[in-house]
């Protein structure tokens, strides 16, 4: 169906229609951008939010072509598109932002670890790691580094899915390793770190090279899933400035465009280590909607369209708390009126049905201090729980 009398400022195709696509669509409305998403069903958050859409499967090349035709650029709300399809789309002439080459750093933890070790001019450290071919690899590594160790799926994981803490060789024996294709292991093993803090540096980069960074964002994970976010992260100045330097160098080094979130570990023994990369708007950045001059979603559109980037200045200390489905279904709508009465709290619901462990929304609160913002955001998010 063609649209008459419509003149969007730009056309963007987005693979995926989850909450990141939904919030990107909100920003697209502001800029007059026509955002067209590839959704798995009409219940996907971006579709429910009103974005134009095609229904398809991101694992099917022809579905990717179908959605890509809607955009002058193609972007992503997740990292699950098979790399060979990304390659084919690029060869077919579609403008992928970020490029398949850059996306590989977010799709494949082993690739990212190996490659970044080779970026010698950057001098970035990553946790000690090995590719895993067998249970013996795990026990040998643990003999050197001590238990527990962390076993990670090389790709396809998010929110801690694919990340396993192994406390002993018995835990390791629960996994079966396929040795038929020994050059391509499916798992990475790394040292278990004592973390003083986890944080993310969000960068936006245009294809023409311009880039900006947001203030450091503190994250707190439970079971691998991000629960709470604070802005700015409370870190020594030298840790922040080194992390921003590294994040910029990495983004430039891998040639990423759009929003890139670089996740860092800061260990209790004072090491700054790169954890992983996400080349899309990131859960840690939701607070930028209210707390920064330019939200990560507006910035992502600006960056992938090669438009001037906006200010990343922090307007106020802020905290974001995710609303995550618990064991019992809660009708969020029933809780909304009370939550709306909290001053300084900004509520975002993704119109998803409640399921245990599912991100259903988030609350961002601004405050005179990070602590007070966090208290407000926590209290408001709690209203959506049983």
Dist CA 10 CA 16 (whole Å): 19
State which of residues 160, 207, 232, 326 lies at the interface with ligand ADP (CB under 6 A).
Answer: 160
Dist CA 199 CA 282 (whole Å): 12
Q: Are 185 and 132 in contact (CB under 8 A)?
A: yes
Q: Are 131 and 108 in contact (CB under 8 A)?
A: no
Binding mask 328-347 for ligand ADP (x = CB under 6 A): --------------------
State which of residues 31, 119, 158, 177 lies at the interface with ligand ADP (CB under 6 A).
Answer: 158
Interior angle at CA 97, CA 93 and CA 102, nearest 5: 100
CB of 128 to ligand ADP, least distance (A): 9
Rule CB under 6 A: say whether 192 interacts with ligand ADP. Answer: yes
State which of residues 47, 86, 89, 163 lies at the interface with ligand ADP (CB under 6 A).
Answer: 163
**Measured CA distances, 233 to 67, 195, 200, 243 (Å):** 38, 14, 9, 12
Dist CA 163 CA 205 (whole Å): 29
Query: Which of 38, 163 has the CB closer to ligand ADP?
Result: 163
State which of residues 276, 282, 290, 300 lies at the interface with ligand ADP (CB under 6 A).
Answer: 276
Residue 195 makes CB contacts below 8 A (sequence gap 6+) with 265, 266, 267, 268
Rule CB under 6 A: say whether 131 interacts with ligand ADP. Answer: no
Dist CA 71 CA 52 (whole Å): 12
CB of 212 to ligand ADP, least distance (A): 24
Among candidates 97, 102, 49, which has minimal Cα distance to 77?
Answer: 97
State which of residues 22, 78, 113, 152 lies at the interface with ligand ADP (CB under 6 A).
Answer: 152
Applying CB under 6 A, which part among 41-49, 139-147, 158-166, 204-212 lies near ligand ADP?
158-166
Query: Percent helix, strand and coil across the chain, each rounded to 5?
Result: 30, 25, 40
Rule CB under 6 A: say whether 198 interacts with ligand ADP. Answer: yes
Q: Say how many residues touch ligand ADP, by CB under 6 A.
A: 20
State which of residues 275, 284, 376, 380 lies at the interface with ligand ADP (CB under 6 A).
Answer: 275
Residue 198 makes CB contacts below 8 A (sequence gap 6+) with 218, 219, 220, 221, 263, 264, 265, 266, 275
Query: Which of 63, 79 has the CB closer to ligand ADP?
Result: 79
Dist CA 207 CA 163 (whole Å): 33
Query: Which of 250, 345 has the CB closer to ligand ADP?
Result: 250
Rule CB under 6 A: say whether 111 interacts with ligand ADP. Answer: no
Query: Which of 188, 363 has the CB closer to ligand ADP?
Result: 188
Applying CB under 6 A, which part among 89-97, 192-200, 233-241, 253-261 lies near ligand ADP?
192-200
Please give the DSSP secondary-structure letter assigned to residue 305. Answer: T
Dist CA 280 CA 205 (whole Å): 11
Rule CB under 6 A: say whether 351 interacts with ligand ADP. Answer: no
State which of residues 44, 77, 79, 190 lies at the interface with ligand ADP (CB under 6 A).
Answer: 190
State which of residues 83, 131, 157, 310 lies at the interface with ligand ADP (CB under 6 A).
Answer: 157
Among candidates 225, 157, 145, which has minimal Cα distance to 189?
Answer: 145
**Measured CA distances, 26 to 182, 243, 348 (Å):** 45, 30, 12
State which of residues 221, 227, 354, 372 lies at the interface with ligand ADP (CB under 6 A).
Answer: 221
Applying CB under 6 A, which part among 19-27, 68-76, 80-88, 184-192 lies near ligand ADP?
184-192
Contact positions toward ligand ADP, by CB under 6 A? 127, 150, 152, 157-160, 162-163, 190-193, 195, 198, 221, 224, 263, 275-276
């Amino acid at each position: 169906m063609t649209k008459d009398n419509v003149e969007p400022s730009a056309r963007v195709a987005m693979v995926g229609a989850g909450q990141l696509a939904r919030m990107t669509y909100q920003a697209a409305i502001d800029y007059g951008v026509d955002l067209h998403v590839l959704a798995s069903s009409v219940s996907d958050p971006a579709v429910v939010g009103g974005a134009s859409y095609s229904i398809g499967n991101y694992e099917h090349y022809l579905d990717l072509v179908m959605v890509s035709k809607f955009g002058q650029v193609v972007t992503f709300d997740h990292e699950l598109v098979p790399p060979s399809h990304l390659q084919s789309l690029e060869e077919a002439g579609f403008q992928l932002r970020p490029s398949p080459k850059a996306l590989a750093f977010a799709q494949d933890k082993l690739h990212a670890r190996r490659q970044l070790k080779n970026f010698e001019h950057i001098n970035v450290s990553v946790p000690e790691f090995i590719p895993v071919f067998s249970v013996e690899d795990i026990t040998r590594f643990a003999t050197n580094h001590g238990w527990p160790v962390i076993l990670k799926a090389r790709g396809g994981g998010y929110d801690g899915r694919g990340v396993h803490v192994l406390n002993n060789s018995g835990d390791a024996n629960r996994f079966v390793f396929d040795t038929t294709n020994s050059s391509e292991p499916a798992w990475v093993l790394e040292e278990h770190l004592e973390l003083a803090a986890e944080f993310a540096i969000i960068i936006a980069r245009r294809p023409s090279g311009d880039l900006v960074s947001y203030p450091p964002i503190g994250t707190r994970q439970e079971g691998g899933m991000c629960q709470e976010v604070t802005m700015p992260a409370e870190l020594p100045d030298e840790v922040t400035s080194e992390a921003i330097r590294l994040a910029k160098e990495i983004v430039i080094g891998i040639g990423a465009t759009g929003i890139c979130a670089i996740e860092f570990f800061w260990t209790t023994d004072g090491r700054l280590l790169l954890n992983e990369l996400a080349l899309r708007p990131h859960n840690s950045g939701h607070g930028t909607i209210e707390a920064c001059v330019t939200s990560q979603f507006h910035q992502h559109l600006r960056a992938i369209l090669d438009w001037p980037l906006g200010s990343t200045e922090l307007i106020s200390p802020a905290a974001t708390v995710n609303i995550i489905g618990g064991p019992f279904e809660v009708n969020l709508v029933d809780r909304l009126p009370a939550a709306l009465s909290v001053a300084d709290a900004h509520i975002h619901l993704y119109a998803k049905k409640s399921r245990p462990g599912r991100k259903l929304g988030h609350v961002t609160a601004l405050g005179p201090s990070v602590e007070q913002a966090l208290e407000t955001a926590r209290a408001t998010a709690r209203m959506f729980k049983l």
